[in-house]
Chain A
Amino acid sequence: MRDNKIFTHTRTVLWKLILPVFILLFWLLAAEFAWVSPLLLPSPLVVGRTIQMQLGQEGTLLADMSVSLVRILRGYSLGAAVGITFGVLMGMSPKVNTFFMLTLTAIRQVPIMAWIPLLIIWFGIGENSKISVIFLASYFPILVNTMSGIASTDQKLLEVGRMYHLSRWKLFTKIYLPSALPVIFTGLKVGLGISWMAVVGAEMIAASAGIGFRINDARSLLQFPIVYAGMIAIAVTGLAMDMILTVVTNLSMPWKNNNK
């Protein structure tokens, strides 16, 4: 049984890796045989060396990534806190929902990129404008998912809660919240993805550090391998954060793993 499990697991991992390996090989071939100009498409080996160099003493990749990451963590945690709080309140109370819904939906219609000029006018080109962009980008998907998760709580379980006279707080902690958790985590994941987009976008428009700034800067200096290196760094870090969130999701819902 156990061997079987390991076998299945290995097969899943291999199945996942086929596509990226294939893309990498194709890229390598395209660069080696110069199907595309090496200026536009440097070889993955060159990009690999660039990443290696950028990660070293003289490079700025780590510094840029950490600047962007800190911005994301600050903006995103604010977005998550506000999004979950309002989502819970709006999901539990139709009255609160009606009060805020119209305004929030109107605000959501303004694309995040359209906020950036205004936020720069308000907060300058420093940290606060970046954090507010990420906050605005991430809170909405978190809010909407939390709200719909809470609102779709099984009425039959709530009836049990009423039968046992649970307080509003207990109703929240014992029924609403655990029932909405899967959907809340979906919102958190979507919000995290959007945070990356928002921070890179904001850094491209106005910043003096961060991965978005670095990509744009390298482009203007014609250092295309650095553009690639930056994009790969974003992809890998984003993937890692998504995986961390998946682990947190599974840990917070132990009742979902039945094979104990």
Chain B
Amino acid sequence: MSKKLEIKNLNRNFWIRNEEVAVLKDIHLTIDEGEFIAIVGHSGCGKSTLLKIIAGLEVQSSGSCLINGRSVSGTGPDRGMIFQEHRLFPWLKIKDNVQIGLDHLTKQEKDRLADDYLAMMKLSDFKHAYPSQLSGGMSQRVAIARALVTQPDILLLDEPFGALDALTKMDLQTEMTQIRQQQKSTMIMVTHDIEEAVFLADKVVVLSSRPGTIQDIVTIELGSVRDRGSADFAWYKRRILNYLIGEAKVNTPEFTI
């Protein structure tokens, strides 16, 4: 497997009221092509910032972020992103929303791709509807179709199912495992849901808080079909949770801020 993404020595600082605060510190991370990586950590640990740096929406303070050996500068069609909120354009019909990243193609190609991916997400009947006519779960499926249709090398997921109810969330997580088998994209997901991370990811990166540093990288060896109820599954969950709880104990005073 070839290296898709290489993060070396990456730091990110913010200025808050004339004080420099380290958000990400000394991040080293290598992701191979086709891998599914989950990044977990407490809220405010910098995991979304890391994802935005990979997306090209934010810039690191120092260090490097290389995709296929090339330094990231700005956003690019090689990367797609799914956000926590569906972020569909309310004024565009579902089909037009899905085609937003396909401007470089001809109309026929755009239509064919949109139809394919809407069918894949079981949304064909809704292509002429507006987002306000769809439920939260359906809207998020449109957002997934919108990101997949550009066939990105790297798919970035920023707490993609965080705003959904428990059942919809589980359905979409299961669908995500099927999507993974069809798409060859490398996927990087930020989440605070440990079960979600263990269910979907090949490797789980555990970030500590303030500044965000990599505590451990847990490789999940549970095969491609995973049973949430199995003992092994619970073991992985426990292991990751211990990192986060352990940290919370040490840092309790800080989290009351």
Report B89-109 residues with CB < 8 Å from chain A CB: 89-92, 100-101, 103
A165 with B90, Cβ < 8 A, contacts A156-B83, A255-B132 known: no
Report A160-178 residues with CB < 8 Å from chain B CB: 160, 162-166, 170, 174-175, 178
Report A161-209 residues with CB < 8 Å from chain B CB: 162-166, 170, 174-175, 178-179, 181
User: Which residues of B sit under 8 angstroms from A165, Cβ to Cβ?
Assistant: 75-77, 101
7 tightest A-B CB contacts, nearest first: A178-B91, A164-B101, A255-B130, A255-B91, A160-B87, A163-B81, A163-B75
* A58 CB–B CB distance under 8 Å: no
User: Please, what's the 1-or-0 string for B71-93, where 1 marks a CB less than 8 Å from any CB in chain A?
Assistant: 00001110111010101011110
Instruction: Report the bound CA distance from A178 to B76 in whole Å.
Output: 25
Size of the A side of the interface (Cβ < 8 Å), in residues, is 20
User: Which residues of B sit under 8 angstroms from A157, Cβ to Cβ?
Assistant: 87, 89
User: Which residues of A sit under 8 angstroms from B133, Cβ to Cβ?
Assistant: 258, 260
Smallest CB-CB separation from A254: which chain B residue?
A: B130
Asked if residues A159 and B57 are in contact (CB atoms below 8 Å), the reply is yes
Q: How large is the interface on B (under 10, 10 to 19, 20 to 34, 35 or more residues)?
A: 20 to 34
A174 with B150, Cβ < 8 A, contacts A156-B83, A255-B132, A258-B133 known: no
User: Please, what's the 1-or-0 string for A68-81, where 1 marks a CB less than 8 Å from any CB in chain B?
Assistant: 00000000000000
* B240 CB–A CB distance under 8 Å: no
Please tell me which one of the listed residues A156, A170, A258 contacts residue B87 in the complex, with CB atoms under 8 A apart. A156
User: Which residues of B sit under 8 angstroms from A258, Cβ to Cβ?
Assistant: 130, 132-133
Instruction: Report the bound CA distance from A179 to B88 in whole Å.
Output: 12
User: Which residues of A sit under 8 angstroms from B131, Cβ to Cβ?
Assistant: 255
Jot down 17 A-B pairs with beta carbons below 8 A, ordered by A.
A156-B83, A156-B85, A159-B83, A160-B83, A160-B89, A162-B57, A163-B75, A163-B80, A163-B81, A174-B89, A175-B89, A178-B89, A179-B91, A181-B91, A254-B130, A255-B132, A258-B132
Asked if residues A164 and B87 are in contact (CB atoms below 8 Å), the reply is no
Asked if residues A163 and B103 are in contact (CB atoms below 8 Å), the reply is no
Asked if residues B100 and A174 are in contact (CB atoms below 8 Å), the reply is yes
User: Which residues of A sit under 8 angstroms from B85, Cβ to Cβ?
Assistant: 156
User: Which residues of B sit under 8 angstroms from A162, Cβ to Cβ?
Assistant: 57, 75
Instruction: Report the bound CA distance from A157 to B79 in whole Å.
Output: 17
User: Please, what's the 1-or-0 string for A228-260, where 1 marks a CB less than 8 Å from any CB in chain B?
Assistant: 000000000000000000000000011100101
Report B101-157 residues with CB < 8 Å from chain A CB: 101, 103, 130-133, 150
Smallest CB-CB separation from A259: which chain B residue?
A: B133
Please tell me which one of the listed residues A163, A166, A253, A260 contacts residue B91 in the complex, with CB atoms under 8 A apart. A253
Asked if residues B90 and A255 are in contact (CB atoms below 8 Å), the reply is yes
- Expressed in whole angstroms, the minimum distance between the Cβ of B149 and any Cβ of chain A is 11
- Expressed in whole angstroms, the minimum distance between the Cβ of A112 and any Cβ of chain B is 34
Interface centre among A163, A170, A260 (most CB of B within 10 A): A163
* B55 CB–A CB distance under 8 Å: yes
